[in-house]
Structure 1
Amino acid sequence: MGFEINRESLIFDEEHMELLAEAWRVREMAHIIGPTKVGCAVLTLNKRIFSGCNVEHRYRSHDVHAEVNAITNMVSAGERSIEVIAIAAERERFTPCGACMDWIMQFGTEGCKVLVQSRQGESGSMYTANELMPYYPK
């Protein structure tokens, strides 16, 4: 008998809500061609927050996803370890794409949390990076 989180109605704690608020704030800066603005904020092991939004290019293969934007901002500031990553988008039932998960796995700490929220201020979902990429090489 295992315990399963109801991921559709998870209420976040204060630290997570602060991180999600930053993701929603930076989401408004997104440069999009398609329909979806995405914002992301990462909390490092040193309790610093870095954010990024999606920046789309007319040649879509050049798009920069919000998660990669936030992570590269973190690395540019000398940080290397993600404790929590929060993603905000007005999109139902989403998780980071495989390429973004690869970045999260590279810089995420053991047990790195991935928060996703479809509507600002409402409930959302929380996973560990390992839950989303269970067979990622160690």
Structure 2
Amino acid sequence: MENTLVMKEDRINGENTLWNKLSNEAWDVRQRAFLQSGGSTHVGASLVTDRGNIYSGCNIQHMYRSHDIHAEVNAISNMVSGGDNKIERILIVAVRAFFTPCGSCMDWIMQFSDDDTIVGFQNEPGGDVQEFTTKELMPHYPK
């Protein structure tokens, strides 16, 4: 049986204020990403919880790359520090053609979500959001 990811596109516009809010937060925090020399990808992430709270984070590179903090993990850490523990939707932004969270970041997202949590990606401010459920990205993830 072949698994395929079903991509849905959701245009950021005035009609979708939640995506707008997450997009604005993620692109804003992305500007504060900390890269070591040689690093080139600034990443921002913003999420909304089941209680409606929004948390954001950017990537932080360390001189010893094994200590890097990814934007998704930074946003999730801020969520937990803020007293929440369930992601309803997360948006990751970077100026890249197409990307998804790495396996480690997906583990973190899965720990604080369910199969229907929406993971979105945007590669330019105001651009299309590529949307997946966590189940589409990690169909065999143990729960």
The counterpart of 1:24, out of the listed 22, 27, 46, is 27
Please report how far the alpha carbon of residue 117 of structure 1 lies from its aligned counterpart in structure 2 after TM superposition.
0.2
Which residue does 1:134 correspond to in 2?
139
Q: How does the TM-score come out when normalised to structure 1? A: 0.92
1:6–1:42 distance in 2 versus 1, CA, 3 Å: closer
Within 2, Cα distance between the matches of 1:14 and 1:35? Answer: 30
Matches within 5 A, 1:2-17: 7=8, 9-12=9-12, 13-17=16-20
Within 1, Cα distance between the matches of 2:97 and 2:115? Answer: 27
The counterpart of 2:87, out of the listed 69, 75, 82, is 82
The size of the alignment, in residue pairs, is 134
Q: Render the CA deviation track for 1:11-55: whole Å, top value 9, x for unaligned.
A: 142211211110000000100121000000110000000000000
Indicate the larger mover: 9-18 or 60-69. Answer: 9-18
Please report how far the alpha carbon of residue 124 of structure 1 lies from its aligned counterpart in structure 2 after TM superposition.
2.4
The counterpart of 2:60, out of the listed 55, 59, 72, is 55
Letter in 1 for 2:137: L
Letter in 2 for 1:11: R
Q: How does the TM-score come out when normalised to structure 2? A: 0.89
Letter in 2 for 1:23: A
Instruction: State whether residues 57 and 72 of structure 2, in contact with CA within 8 Å, keep that contact through their aligned partners in structure 1.
Output: yes
**Percent identity (aligned):** 49
Gaps of 5+ in 1: none
Within 2, Cα distance between the matches of 1:125 and 1:57? Answer: 29
Gaps of 5+ in 2: none
Alpha-carbon RMSD: 1.4
Runs of 4+ displaced beyond 2 Å: 4-7
Letter in 2 for 1:123: D
Please report how far the alpha carbon of residue 10 of structure 1 lies from its aligned counterpart in structure 2 after TM superposition.
3.3
